[in-house]
Structure 1
Amino acid sequence: MSGLKREITLIGGIGQMSTTLLGTGLFMVPAIAASIAGQDMLWAWWLLIFAVCPIAFTFAALGKRYPNAGGASYFVKQAFGSRLEKAIALLFISVIPVGVPAAIAIAGGFAQQFLPSFLAQPLTAQLLVVVLLMVVNFSGSKISSQFQTGIAIGILVLVGLFVWFGDISVSDSIPATLPANNLPAIGSAVAVMFWCFVGIEAFAHMGEEFKRPERDYPIAILVGCLIAGTVYYLFSLVVLKHHAFGTQELNTTSVPYLSNLLFGSGLTWLISLTGFLACFATINLYTQSLARMIWSLAREYKPSSSVARISIKGVPSVATVFVGITLALSCVFGELSNIDIEVFLTLANGIFVVIYLFAMLSAVKLLSGKGKALAIFSTILCVLVLFSIGLAMTYAVILLAVIWVLIPRFNNTKSI
């Protein structure tokens, strides 16, 4: 058994982090948040970025100190022992059939716009996305990070064009005086916008594959978050100035609407392609992260199994195939069951926040000084978000409790 290859560079890591955070959020969240808070959405972005910074710094500190393919579950193991590590790992793996297929459905929707007619069916497009995921993942982490860096550059160029042709000025970027009577709406907008920064926990699984994890991994997280936050803020300015929000239809089609308004209908294909690539970048990192989580567990507890093997290109092949098959089956189930995609996303969001919470609790125990203070603040933030998402919180907490009860107490594990 060999280890994962250390092929991810600083630039590649920044590209992966930023595209993972942008993902599907860029095409919906700014317009939805504008519908909730109007012009005061700008204050919501400032508050959110201020709140996310401690979480990003905490993940960076943990990843610098404990670079491991186990990600958040490995941090939990260092703080609380092996049993809770397994529980968090299995909780993260449980997002395969609910969270990632929902994102694949969105990516497939974009892909249908430029696929030939005989392939432009929802399920066919989604399965083609899964096949492309397998191709990219089996190419190795270096090729994958380079691919996502290219996507990041494309998104930056697109948003830059929106800002330029949207005639955005410095005065447009400065929020008005904070209105006390609109604070509840601003808070509601922050709750929606928080999901733009879900993805940091998935990136934690890539720390072991950086060439220089002690230096480059924390920089990649912080710079990636800064780039994503800047892109979201700039695009929100365009949405506000040209009123690309207000109805459910307009909120979900704000990007095509602005494209037709500012560039004409000739670039519709480019918007669809960019939307597909942005969604694909997020799904790609989660596919990598989930495979590495499964491989990490096998490496630690079943090192002689086929799941613990690594390909010549440094890819956990069996784990990747398992993730791919599960994604394909979940896409088929989603289409046949006609379950609303928002149900899957809501359930996945609850799982992600619980994982964030336990990562921050681990940091409280493992870090010291300013790192511990930031971790405490981040823990409080995660608790507030967890209670704000309602039913999804109940699903995630019950699922974690069931996993905890079902995990057998092996002699070589440390009970907490």
Structure 2
Amino acid sequence: MSSSHRIGVAQGTALYVGAVLGGGVLALPALTAREAGPASLVAWALMVAFCVPIAGAFAALGMRYPDGGGVATFAAKAFGPRTSAPVGWLFYFAVPVGTASAAIVGGSYVADALGGGYLMSLAVAAVLLFGAYISNWLGLKLSGGLQLLLVGMLAALMVVAIAVAAPDAQSEHFTPFAPHGWLAVGHAATLLFFAFSGWEAVSHLSGEFSDPRRQLPVVTGLTIVTVAVLYLGVATTSMAVLGSDPDRSSVPLTLLLERGIGDSARAVTAVAAALLTFATVNAYIAGGSRLGAALGRDGDLPRVLGKGHRAGEIPKRSLVVLASLTAVLLTCAAVLDIRLDPIMTAASACFVAVYVAGLSAAVRLLRGSTFGRLGAVVSLVAVLTVFCFFGWYLLLPVSLVIGALVFQRCTSGRGKGADTSGTPVAEDSRESSSASVAG
């Protein structure tokens, strides 16, 4: 890649902010307020503080291994190539859960603007996801410029919402401060992992910087500051203006904007939420489908999924699997009335498991970097602490890891290492080839 196509500080910061600042902010202020009341702001502050060491660890890994393989590659380098399969499964099978969560959030804003309820939110989510799968099936992807524009529009809306609603803040909305006890803060933090995930997704971009060792620390610092200001600003303003009543704060960004622009706020935020949601799920589906094809090619998923793994090809079989799992999830949510909270928590559990893999690799790989390894150790301890609050949701990532290991054992010796065209794939190349799309 020529230097003219390398990522600079400005573009890198925009991409990192776009990955970390996802659609979760549209719903999470309401969900965490319902979980822990005003004390949920403590969870927001703790998660922002958590970003510092975890981002430092991933930045150090990117500086040391700028080939851009992502978390699965870091795990493979630290613990051997076979560890990329469990990490790959965690990411691949979290895509339907994570994209469904994001789509339901966007759908709730559209449903609110149209006067509909949860079933309409699910219907809108299905339409958004269907469009994203069709886009990937046809090989169409939203350009990076458009995706950054959509994220920038959301950030601008958040700033405007904070500015116009702040004068309506009421101190009584902060009392009682912890109506559900302090343990609820930990449960709120599990939900917030959905909002603060993204560092693992952008880890593969480290190889695209023209000077990773100089640029990555700057980009990481700017991203942390930007995300912290926007997230804490919206969460605090939402609590101060709307309180923790779930009936009044289910779509907090809309309700905050109404203070300044009236009823048109619903239409504005509905369109913005739909576009942002589409951009987010489109990107995750594109990456997840290619990861599935790579895992199939390398024998870490059924080899039938390996078709379409080459650059420029469309991994249609992998797309069918992801689309089918997503359809089943949305159908179950509609029939069984499964709300957003458990779906988002399930996705967060898988994301946390990916973080555990990446940070464990960082502890082993960053022995020569005092700051990077310290950040990895602190982050790993924090992640494992939050892990305790997921309860039975941990069965999902544990089951995926066990499934990957069982699949490896059952398929070992059956031509593992051959791609779908029958060409052998060297074992020592799998850690880079299969994980390079995991980001």
- More displaced, 99-108 or 293-302? 293-302
Letter in 2 for 1:17: Y
The answer as to 2:92 corresponding to 1:97 is no
Please name the residue that 2:381 is paired with: 380
Letter in 2 for 1:253: V
The answer as to 2:314 corresponding to 1:318 is yes
Please name the residue that 1:396 is paired with: 397
Shift of 1:17: 2.4
Shift of 1:196: 1.6
Please name the residue that 2:329 is paired with: 334
Shift of 1:356: 0.5
Shift of 1:155: 1.8
Does the C-alpha gap of structure 1 residues 133 and 96 become closer, same or farther in structure 2, counting only changes over 3 Å? same
Please name the residue that 1:150 is paired with: 149
Letter in 2 for 1:276: A
Q: Secondary structure at the match of 2:143?
A: helix
- More displaced, 62-71 or 386-395? 62-71
Please name the residue that 1:67 is paired with: 66
Letter in 2 for 1:366: L
Does the C-alpha gap of structure 1 residues 234 and 98 become closer, same or farther in structure 2, counting only changes over 3 Å? closer
- More displaced, 254-263 or 157-166? 254-263
8 Å CA contact 1:20, 1:281 repeated in 2: no
Alpha-carbon distance between aligned partners in 1 of 2:67 and 2:295, rounded to the nearest angstrom: 11
Shift of 1:55: 0.8
The answer as to 2:129 corresponding to 1:126 is yes
Matches within 5 A, 1:290-301: 290-294=288-292
Please name the residue that 2:227 is paired with: 228
Matches within 5 A, 1:151-170: 151-167=150-166
Please name the residue that 1:314 is paired with: none
Please list the CA deviations of residues 40-91 of structure 1 after superposition, one character each: whole Å capped at 9, or x if unmatched.
4443333221122111111111122223454111000110001111221122
Please name the residue that 1:250 is paired with: 248
Alpha-carbon distance between aligned partners in 2 of 1:227 and 1:90, rounded to the nearest angstrom: 31
Alpha-carbon distance between aligned partners in 1 of 2:267 and 2:385, rounded to the nearest angstrom: 40
Does the C-alpha gap of structure 1 residues 158 and 244 become closer, same or farther in structure 2, counting only changes over 3 Å? farther
Q: Secondary structure at the match of 1:151?
A: helix
Aligned mate of 1:280, from 278, 282, 295: 278
Does the C-alpha gap of structure 1 residues 385 and 60 become closer, same or farther in structure 2, counting only changes over 3 Å? same
Letter in 2 for 1:381: A
Alpha-carbon distance between aligned partners in 2 of 1:325 and 1:23, rounded to the nearest angstrom: 25
TM-score of the superposed pair, with normalisation by structure 1: 0.80
Q: Percent identical across equivalent pairs?
A: 23
Shift of 1:156: 2.2
Q: Secondary structure at the match of 1:242?
A: helix
Letter in 2 for 1:289: G
Instruction: Structure 2: state its 5+ residue gaps.
Output: 115-119, 418-425, 429-439
Shift of 1:226: 2.7
Alpha-carbon distance between aligned partners in 2 of 1:62 and 1:363, rounded to the nearest angstrom: 7
The answer as to 2:270 corresponding to 1:263 is no
Does the C-alpha gap of structure 1 residues 160 and 347 become closer, same or farther in structure 2, counting only changes over 3 Å? closer
Letter in 1 for 2:402: A
Alpha-carbon distance between aligned partners in 1 of 2:291 and 2:7, rounded to the nearest angstrom: 18
Instruction: Structure 1: state its 5+ residue gaps.
Output: 312-316
Does the C-alpha gap of structure 1 residues 46 and 219 become closer, same or farther in structure 2, counting only changes over 3 Å? same
Please list the CA deviations of residues 80-125 of structure 1 after superposition, one character each: whole Å capped at 9, or x if unmatched.
001111221122112233332332343345466889xxx9954444
TM-align CA RMSD: 3.8
Shift of 1:294: 4.3
Alpha-carbon distance between aligned partners in 2 of 1:223 and 1:78, rounded to the nearest angstrom: 28
Q: Secondary structure at the match of 1:192?
A: helix
Q: Secondary structure at the match of 2:256?
A: helix
Shift of 1:209: 4.2
- More displaced, 376-385 or 336-345? 336-345
Alpha-carbon distance between aligned partners in 2 of 1:372 and 1:246, rounded to the nearest angstrom: 42
8 Å CA contact 2:254, 2:265 repeated in 1: no
8 Å CA contact 1:349, 1:392 repeated in 2: no
Letter in 1 for 2:389: S
